[in-house]
Amino acid sequence: MGDRPDVPARVLRRLDAIVLPLPEVVRESAWVGVRWRVRGATIAHVFGGEDQLLRIVFRAEPGEVLAFENLGDPYFRTEWGSNVVGMILDDRTDWEELREVLTDSYCVQAPAELAGAVDRPPAAD
C-alpha cells in the first residue's frame, strides 16, 4: 500500500471524449482523482487506489447493480450507495462497454429532460 497514483492524462482524454459531449456535463477535481457531473450529480469518478489500480465508479439502474456484481472482474460493488458500481481500468478495459455504462450512468443521474435527449444503447433482454 502507499500513495494513490494520478490518473494518466491518456485515460482522462478517453473519458472526456465519452462523457463531456453529454448535455451539461462538467469535469472537476474530486477529493481524489477526477469526476464528471451533471447539475451537481456525479456521473463518474476515476481515481487511483492505494493498491496502484485505477478505478472508475458510476451509477446504474437499481436492478442492474446485482448483475454487475455477479459479472465479477473488472466490476466490483462499492460501499458508496445502492446504485454505485465500480470497474477496474487496465489494459483489458473494453472502452465501448465503458461508453455504454457511462452513458447509462448519465441517464440515471441527469434530469429527465437532459437524459431524454441522449441516445442510449438498447437494453439487453
Render pLDDT for 33-85 as a digit per residue (tens, 0 to 9): 999 999 999 999 999 988 899 999 999 998 888 888 888 889 998 877 789 99
| Residue 6: φ, ψ to 5° | -70, 155
Model confidence band, residue 121 (pLDDT cutoffs 50, 70, 90): low
Peptide bond into 74 cis (omega under 30): yes
**Percent of the chain residues past pLDDT 70, beyond the cut:** 94
125 pLDDT tier (thresholds 50, 70, 90): very low
Which CA distances in Å does 49 have to 11, 52, 53, 89? Answer: 15, 5, 5, 11
Partners of 35 in the beta sheet?
28, 45
Q: Which CATH architecture has domain 9-115?
A: Alpha-Beta Complex (3.90)
| Partners of 77 in beta bridges | 85
Residue 91 pLDDT > 70: yes
Cα torsion angle, 7, 11, 16, 19, sign: negative
**Mean predicted lDDT score pLDDT of the chain:** 90
Query: In the prediction, which pLDDT does 70 show?
Result: 84
Instruction: Map out the domains of the chain as residue ranges.
Output: 9-115
pLDDT score of 1: 47
